[in-house]
Amino acid sequence: MIATELEAGALSDLAAELRSAGLPISDLAMPGRRFYRFDDAIGLVGYGGIEGAGADRLLRSLIVTPSRRGGALGAAMLAYMEGAAATDGAACLYLLTTTAGPFFRRHGYETTGRNDAPAVIAGSAEFQTLCPANADFLSKRIA
């Protein structure tokens, strides 16, 4: 699988994929976000992103295209994202999800109390307004 970092001006395909899945897109082009497109020999697998620059980062918009789901590609994408974040200095990843909690728990993410969110995560648009208050808040130490 090949991961390609998307330039700020090349987020339209990502936005379309997220929109079709009912996921937030309003802050994709804001600074401090890195999004990746994942492809293999067949073609597009999906997208994923990391928000932030410190030890605590937000995993954003990990999505496998509907026609490619069920083949462990999401796990490979997640492993890549965790490795990229750790290489860049992250120690812990956080995420919010309303639908993929079981997937992330199978890969070592644990339920975290929203009151325990580090300030940099709690202050993010995703945490404050983009994801509903009933979204699962999960975290994983990666370094």
Q: Report the length, in residues, of the chain.
A: 143
Q: How far apart are CA 119 and CA 88, in angstroms?
A: 20
Most confident of 23-27, 80-84, 128-132: 80-84
Ramachandran class of 95: left when φ > 0, alpha when ψ lies in -120 to 50, beta otherwise: beta
Q: Are 103 and 28 in contact (CB under 8 A)?
A: no
Q: How high is the pLDDT of residue 47?
A: 97
Beta bridge partners of 5: 36
Ramachandran class of 59: left when φ > 0, alpha when ψ lies in -120 to 50, beta otherwise: beta
Per residue in 6-33, pLDDT (tens digit) is 998 889 999 999 999 888 899 999 999 9
Over residues 127-133, the mean pLDDT reads 89
Q: How high is the pLDDT of residue 24?
A: 87
Encoding tokens for residue 65? 């295209």
| DSSP-derived 3-state class of residue 126 | helix
Q: How high is the pLDDT of residue 63?
A: 95
60: Cβ–Cβ under 8 A, 6 or more apart, which residues?
A: 33, 35, 48, 49, 50, 51, 95, 126
pLDDT category, 138, cuts 50, 70, 90?
A: very high
Encoding tokens for residue 8? 């700020």
Q: How high is the pLDDT of residue 23?
A: 87
**What are the boundaries of each domain within the chain?**
2-141
Architecture of domain 2-141: 3-Layer(aba) Sandwich (3.40)
Q: How many CB atoms lie within 10 A of CB 61?
A: 25
